[in-house]
Structure 1
Amino acid sequence: MPFIEVSSGPWRGVEFLRGLAAPDDAPAGCTPLTWRHNGTARLGGFIARAQAQVLIDGTFAPEGTQRAKPDAFSLRSVTTACAGEAFVFIGEMFGRTGSIETNEPCVAAQLTIAPETELAITLNPDFEYAFVAADGDLAVNRTRVPGSSVGLVDTGHRTIGLENRSDAIAHVLILGGAPTGRD
């Protein structure tokens, strides 16, 4: 399966994996981050039953393999009702710090959003972001991002609205980082 280009901060692409499919080899200059819906991520290696493989610019990834299985924490909707849970793998988000280290600041976090739920999240305004919709019917600031696709947001946003418009749980991977000056 080909990678979907992301080009958001250091993040270069995403490949959605189905069933027991193994990820494709990472292109030269990129390091893979494999991700599973249960809140597990691995930088520089493969995890079994991964839902997606994300590519990060290799200059951001230190030598070796790092694995993260952080504790989940609750998310609240705009009405303060329980909206699901989140995990932070890389960088800082939601007042949490991920355990996977990178050579430059960036972020990777998972949201598991309850059905028909709307929430607002705080962003680093110096970062551009990719919202990887693994499933569900997501909307980012009211713009639809269907399952198995990616929504991109430029720098300058301090908050953003997310909606799970489906009647099932939606899994979203948030990737962010400072623009890298590429053409």
Structure 2
Amino acid sequence: MSDLEKDPAEVVCDGAGAEGPVQELLEPRQVVLGRTTKVRRLLPNKDRRMVGAWCFADHYGPDDLTARVDSYDVPGERGMVVPPHPHTSLQTVSWLIEGEIEHRDSAGSHAMVRPGELNIMTSGPGIAHSEISPPSAPPMLHGVQLWVALPESARNTVPPAFNAYADLPVLELDGARAKVMVGTVGGVTSPAPAYTPLVGADVTIEPGRTVAVPLTPEFEYAVLVVDGEVSAGQVAPGFGEMAYFGTGRDAIELTAGAEGARFVLLGGEPFDEQLVMWWNFIGRTHEEVVAARNDWMASVEAGGSSRFPAVLGYDGAPLPAPPLPGTRLKPRPRAR
């Protein structure tokens, strides 16, 4: 998924990790994605830019694709339309709750993203991909798009790749069920590739129940609510909000509202490398991001390149990169 803000801000994370348990409510900001989709962006947030290696989190929908009337509609287009765009030094994690999205990438992958099935794309030094709602897609679209920063040890050596998992392991709790997308929760481990200690899970809690979700004390954690409402101590994130809990816990008690709750649990060891994020690129320096943009624009003009090959099968032009900012990066911490 692409960050399509017309003037994307540069973000530098200095690697300072969380220290102990906290409770913070992170509110989203609305961003236009592609030509037709609006999303709620939770990460990077003005107060908290990372959770472990998770560095980007968008929550979109539920949208009725048969009744789009907002100002972003484009005649003849239905649902998500994100043309080929690049990524560097990251993994994209696609998780659908409702709907269907067609994925194509420059590594030659072609797959349908469906609810409950994990799709994870590893960029290595560079990959391009497109995402669209096919004509046969169900009428509702609802999901989350996540990015994971690759560490220095992997970001330029791991080749571009796409992995899909239709069957993921499930942790059964008293009053809750957690499908483990990445990493390990309560002894249940996902087969998905991860290059830093990381956790991602889709958790559903029965109406009114209080559940102790097992955690790893060395990890920092957050929950993104995609249905209903949960409460934990002094925070009660509702639909489309995120609560951040820091480190130092072996479990956290979460209580669902009267209608039940569903949330995405994100966690990981605090990421200790400095990152520079701009548009769809992650690097370590301003110069590195500039080089990635130049390589992408050369690929757009040439119809593909060694770093960013063409996305075969997509009918349309790739996305040009927005103009670079006129100033150099200024480091900012992981949290305000």
Q: TM-score range by the shorter chain?
A: 0.7 to 0.9
Highest Rg: 1 or 2? 2
CA offset digits 1:16-70 (Å, max 9, x no partner)? 1223643866875443211123532211176975511112114478531122331
Cα offset, 1:174, TM superposition:
0.7
Residue number in structure 2 paired with 1:22: 80
Aligned-pair RMSD on alpha carbons?
2.6
* Structure holding more strand per residue: 1
TM-score, normalised by the number of residues in structure 2 = 0.47
Aligned partner letter, 2:57: V
- Tell me whether 1:9 sits opposite 2:52 in the alignment: yes
* Residue in 2 that maps onto 1:74: 172
* 1:125/1:155 contact within 8 Å kept: yes
Residue 176 of structure 1 pairs with residue 271 of structure 2: no
Identity of aligned residues (%): 21
Q: Which residue number corresponds to residue 53 of structure 1? A: 145
Name the counterpart of 2:120.
Answer: 43
Provide structure 1 residue ranges, at least 5 long, that are not aligned to the other structure: 77-82
Moved more, 95-104 or 24-33: 24-33
Tell which has more relative contact order, 1 or 2 (C-alpha 8 A, sep 6+).
2
Q: CA deviation at 1:4?
A: 1.8
What is the letter of the counterpart of residue 31 of structure 1?
A: Q
Determine if contact 1:26/1:32 at 8 Å carries over to the other structure: no
The answer to whether the 8 Å contact 1:34/1:53 transfers is yes
Alignment partners' CA distance in 2, 1:142 and 1:118: 15
Q: Does 1:32 align with 2:92?
A: yes
CA spacing shift, 1:138–1:148, aligned 2, 3 Å: same
Name the aligned partner's letter for residue 242 of structure 2: V
Note if 1:129 corresponds to 2:221.
yes
Partner SS for 1:136: strand
Residue 156 of structure 1 pairs with residue 248 of structure 2: yes
Is the Cα contact below 8 Å between 1:138 and 1:147 reproduced in 2?
no
When residues 57 and 137 of structure 1 are mapped into structure 2, their CA distance, relative to the original with a 3 A threshold, is same
Any stretches of 5+ residues in structure 2 without a counterpart? 1-29, 32-40, 44-48, 66-78, 98-114, 122-128, 134-140, 275-332
| 8 A Cα contact 2:117 2:164, kept in partner | yes
The structure with more helix, counted as a fraction of residues: 2
Tell me how far 1:71 sits from its aligned partner.
Answer: 4.2
Aligned residue identity for 2:143: Q
Amino acid at match of 1:33: V
Which of 75, 93, 96 lines up with 2:185 in the alignment? 93
Deviations for 1:52-108, whole angstroms, at most 9, x for unmatched residues?
Answer: 1112114478531122331444220xxxxxx13211111111211101011121111
Q: Is the 8 A contact 1:23 1:53 kept in 2?
A: no
Is 2:161 the partner of 1:64?
A: yes
Structure 1 length-normalised TM: 0.82
Partner SS, residue 146 of structure 1: coil
> Equivalent residue for 1:80?
none
Contact 1:136 1:171 survives alignment (8 Å): yes
Assess, with a 3 A threshold, how the Cα gap between structure 1 residues 34 and 140 changes in structure 2: closer, same or farther: farther
